[in-house]
Structure 1
Amino acid sequence: MKRLLSAIAFIAAAQLAAAQGFDNLPDPVEDVNKVVDNTPDSIAKALMSRPEPGTTRKGDNPVLFLIGNSTMRNGTKGDGSNGQWGWGFFASKYFNANKISVENQALGGMSTRTFYTKLWPMVRKALRKGDWVIISIGHNDNGPYNEGRARAVIPGVGTDSLCVTIKETGEKETVYTYGGYLRKYIAECREAGAHPILMSLTPRDAYDEKTGKIVRKPQTEWAAYVAAQEGVPFVDLNEISGSKLDSYSKWKEQYHFFGDHIHTSAYGAEMNARSAAEGIAASRNPDLKPLQDMMMGVQLPVVQVTREKGKPIVFITGDSTVKNKDSDKDGMWGWGSQAYTVFDQDKVTCVNVAKAGRSTRSYVREGRWEQVYNTLQPGDFVLLQFGHNDICPIADAKERGVIPGTADTCHVYKMEKDGRYEVVYSFGWYLRKMIDDCREKGATPILVSLTPRNEWPHGKVERRNDSYGKWYREVVEQTGVDFLDVHNISADFLDRKFASKSEEKSKKAASRYFNNDHTHTSLAGARMNAQSVAKGLRDINSPLAAYLKKGK
Structure 2
Amino acid sequence: MKTPSPTIRNYALLSLLLLLLTAFAAPGPRKIKLYLIGDSTMANKVRQVFPETGWGMPLVTFFDSAQVTVDNRAQNGRSTRTFLAENRWQPIVDALKEGDYVFIQFGHNDEAENYPDRYTSPEDYRKNLIKFVTETRGKKSNPVLLTPITRLRFDKSGHITETHVAYSKVTTEVATQYQVPLIDLDKMSRDLVQQFGPENAKLLYLQLAPGDHPNYPYGRQDGTHFSELGARKMAQLAMSQVIAQKLPLLSERLAKPTAKNAVPPATNGKDAQPTTP
TM-score when scaled to structure 1? 0.38
**Counterpart code for 1:152:** Y
Q: Determine whether 1:120 maps to 2:82.
A: no
What secondary structure, in the 3-state scheme, does the structure 1 residue paired with 2:76 have?
coil
Structure 1: tracts of 5 or more residues without a match: 1-58, 159-175, 307-312, 314-336, 341-350, 358-552
**Counterpart code for 1:191:** G
Residue of 178, 182, 193 corresponding to 2:129: 182
- Measured after TM superposition, the shift of residue 250 of structure 1 is 2.9
Q: Determine whether 1:93 maps to 2:61.
A: yes
In structure 2, the residue matched to 1:65 is 35
Q: Would you identify which runs of 4 or more consecutive aligned residues in structure 1 move more than 6 Å?
A: 351-357
* More RCO (CA 8 Å, sep 6+): 2
Residue of 178, 183, 187 corresponding to 1:239: 187
Residue of 282, 289, 292 corresponding to 2:251: 292
Change (3 A) 1:251 1:355: farther
**Counterpart code for 1:99:** Q
In structure 2, the residue matched to 1:264 is 226
- Alignment deviations for residues 375-398 of structure 1 (CA, whole Å, 9 cap, x no partner): xxxxxxxxxxxxxxxxxxxxxxxx
- Alignment deviations for residues 211-262 of structure 1 (CA, whole Å, 9 cap, x no partner): 7125352222221111010011001112222212211143321011113111
Change (3 A) 1:297 1:139: farther
Q: CA RMSD in A?
A: 3.0
- Aligned counterparts of 1:246 and 1:143: Cα–Cα separation in 2: 24
**Counterpart code for 1:253:** A
- Aligned counterparts of 2:231 and 2:112: Cα–Cα separation in 1: 26
- Measured after TM superposition, the shift of residue 303 of structure 1 is 5.7
Q: Determine whether 1:304 maps to 2:265.
A: yes
Percent of residue pairs bearing the same amino acid type: 27
**Counterpart code for 1:154:** S
Q: Please say if residues 143 and 150 of structure 1, whose CA atoms lie closer than 8 Å, have aligned partners that are also in contact.
A: no
Q: Please say if residues 154 and 198 of structure 2, whose CA atoms lie closer than 8 Å, have aligned partners that are also in contact.
A: no
What secondary structure, in the 3-state scheme, does the structure 2 residue paired with 1:186 have?
helix
- Aligned counterparts of 1:255 and 1:279: Cα–Cα separation in 2: 23
- Measured after TM superposition, the shift of residue 355 of structure 1 is 7.3
What secondary structure, in the 3-state scheme, does the structure 2 residue paired with 1:103 have?
strand
What secondary structure, in the 3-state scheme, does the structure 1 residue paired with 2:250 have?
helix
Q: Please say if residues 134 and 198 of structure 1, whose CA atoms lie closer than 8 Å, have aligned partners that are also in contact.
A: yes
Change (3 A) 1:80 1:134: farther
Change (3 A) 1:67 1:302: farther
Q: Please say if residues 70 and 106 of structure 1, whose CA atoms lie closer than 8 Å, have aligned partners that are also in contact.
A: yes
Q: Determine whether 1:278 maps to 2:240.
A: yes
Q: Please say if residues 65 and 255 of structure 2, whose CA atoms lie closer than 8 Å, have aligned partners that are also in contact.
A: no
What secondary structure, in the 3-state scheme, does the structure 2 residue paired with 1:151 have?
coil
What secondary structure, in the 3-state scheme, does the structure 1 residue paired with 2:224 have?
coil
In our comparison, the structure showing a higher alpha carbon Rg is 1
Q: Please say if residues 207 and 215 of structure 1, whose CA atoms lie closer than 8 Å, have aligned partners that are also in contact.
A: no
**Counterpart code for 2:83:** F
